[in-house]
Amino acid sequence: MAVVVALLCCAGGVAALLVAGRAANEAAEALPTPGPARDAPGDAPTPRGGEPSRPATQGETFGMKPGDTLIIEDDKGTIEITVTSFRTVKEGCLSFSPKPKKGLYLIAEVTATITTGTSSINPFFFEWVADDGTTTNGLAGIFAGCGDPLSSGTNLRAGSKRAGTLAFDVTDDKGTLEYRHNFKTEGSWQP
């Protein structure tokens, strides 16, 4: 009898996972498609270093340099994201931080500002893509302790800002930092 009950429970669990997976796929397909990123205006926000942001190259939002601002408009609002600087360290920044397993922590200083409507930001929307194509998310870098981490926010209103660091465990600084908005890569910065 116990075996029958266990099998029924397993079958019910599998059915629930299948239904949830199908619902997740339908929800992802129903998400709005973001509009194209646009160039930053000449009066872009000033990053922490005191230098004014440089607007993105005319129409190009990939391979930007530190200080360039990515502006993304969708049907909910506009978010402006600036990677103000990159640096690398060979050890964690706090005495109890682990050493990077791949050799370096690449640290990016990031600011995000919601300028119209609402938008969301999350440190896991960023991904490091090395020149050899390998990817790294910021999960391992959370423990590096290198600055105040970039915090997340959902449905942030116009005027909301987030600023902080992203840290990635990498072999070198050759690659790009990509940003995904609504599951689509919208732009990238190179150190």
In this structure, what are the phi and psi dihedrals at residue 20, rounded to the nearest 5 degrees?
-65, -40
Looking at per-residue pLDDT, the higher value among 52 and 88 belongs to 88
Give the pLDDT mean for 30-53: 42
Give the pLDDT mean for 20-34: 42
Kindly report whether the global pTM for this prediction surpasses the value 0.85.
no
CB 103, CB 149: distance < 8 Å: no
Strand partners for 184 = 181
80 is written with which tokens?
Answer: 């402006």
pLDDT grade for 26, boundaries at 50, 70 and 90: very low
148, amino acid identity:
D
Give the pLDDT mean for 123-152: 94
18 is written with which tokens?
Answer: 């299948």
pLDDT grade for 114, boundaries at 50, 70 and 90: very high
Strand partners for 107 = 87, 167
Rg, C-alpha atoms of the chain:
20
Give the pLDDT mean for 100-107: 96
Strand partners for 113 = 80, 161
Give the integer Cα–Cα distance in Å for 94 and 47.
Answer: 25
